Amino acid sequence: MRRATVYRYSLPMEAGVVLRNQRLKTRDGLLVSLWQDEKTGWGEIAPLPGFSAEDVTQAQEAVKHGLSQWMQGASLTAVASAFSALPSVAFGLSCADAELRGELPDVLSTRCAPLCHGDPNELYARLGALPGDKLAKVKVGLYESVGDGLNVSMLLEALPDLRLRLDANRSWTLAKSEGFARHVAPELRSRIVFIEEPCQTREQSREFARATGIAIAWDESVRDAGFTVQAETGLAAIIIKPTLTGSLNRCRQLISQAHAAGLEAVISSSIESSLGLTQLARIAQWLTPDAVPGLDTLDLMQAQLIRRWPDSVLPVIAEPDLEVVWQSQ
Ligand X SMILES: O=C(O)CCC(=O)C1=CC=C[C@@H](O)[C@@H]1C(=O)O
Site residues, ligand X (CB under 6 A): 19, 113, 115, 137, 167, 169, 219, 268-271, 294, 296-297
Catalytic, 139? Answer: yes
Residue type (1 letter), 115: L
Provide, rounded to whole angstroms, the least separation between the CB of residue 231 and ligand X. 22
Q: Are 31 and 63 in contact (CB under 8 A)?
A: no
Buried b (16+ CB within 10 A) or exposed e, 238-252: bbbbbbbbbbbebbb
Nearer to ligand X, 6 or 138 (CB): 138
**CA distance readout (Å), 254 to 29, 76, 96, 291, 298:** 25, 21, 20, 14, 25
Q: Which residues sit at the interface with Mg ion, rule CB under 5 A?
A: 167, 196, 219
Question: Biggest alpha carbon distance in the chain?
Answer: 64
Nearer to ligand X, 177 or 269 (CB): 269
List the single partner that 137 binds among Mg ion, ligand X, none, CB under 5 to 8 Å by kind.
Answer: ligand X
Nearer to ligand X, 139 or 183 (CB): 139
Residue 167, annotated ligand binder?
Answer: yes
List the single partner that 269 binds among Mg ion, ligand X, none, CB under 5 to 8 Å by kind.
Answer: ligand X
Distance between CA atoms of 158 and 2, rounded to whole angstroms?
56
List the single partner that 281 binds among ligand X, Mg ion, none, CB under 5 to 8 Å by kind.
Answer: none
Provide, rounded to whole angstroms, the least separation between the CB of residue 66 and Mg ion. 29
Residue 290, annotated ligand binder?
Answer: no
Provide, rounded to whole angstroms, the least separation between the CB of residue 213 and ligand X. 23
Distance between CA atoms of 169 and 159, rounded to whole angstroms?
25
Provide, rounded to whole angstroms, the least separation between the CB of residue 82 and Mg ion. 28
List the single partner that 297 binds among ligand X, Mg ion, none, CB under 5 to 8 Å by kind.
Answer: ligand X
List the single partner that 216 binds among Mg ion, ligand X, none, CB under 5 to 8 Å by kind.
Answer: none
Distance between CA atoms of 30 and 12, rounded to whole angstroms?
15
Distance between CA atoms of 177 and 181, rounded to whole angstroms?
6
Catalytic, 241? Answer: yes
Nearer to ligand X, 33 or 245 (CB): 245
Closest to 155 (Cα-Cα) out of 140, 172, 177, 175: 140
Residue of 39, 134, 139, 176 marked catalytic: 139
Residue of 134, 137, 176, 241 marked catalytic: 241
Residue 219, annotated ligand binder?
Answer: yes
Provide, rounded to whole angstroms, the least separation between the CB of residue 215 and ligand X. 16
Name every residue whose Cβ is closer than 8 Å to that of residue 304 and which is 6 or more positions away in sequence: 273, 274, 275, 298, 312, 314, 315, 316, 317
Nearer to ligand X, 79 or 113 (CB): 113
Distance between CA atoms of 183 and 150, rounded to whole angstroms?
6
Sign of CA dihedral 296, 161, 282, 168: positive
List residues forming the annotated binding site for Mg(2+). Answer: 167, 196, 219
List residues forming the annotated binding site. Answer: 167, 196, 219
Catalytic residue IDs: 139, 241
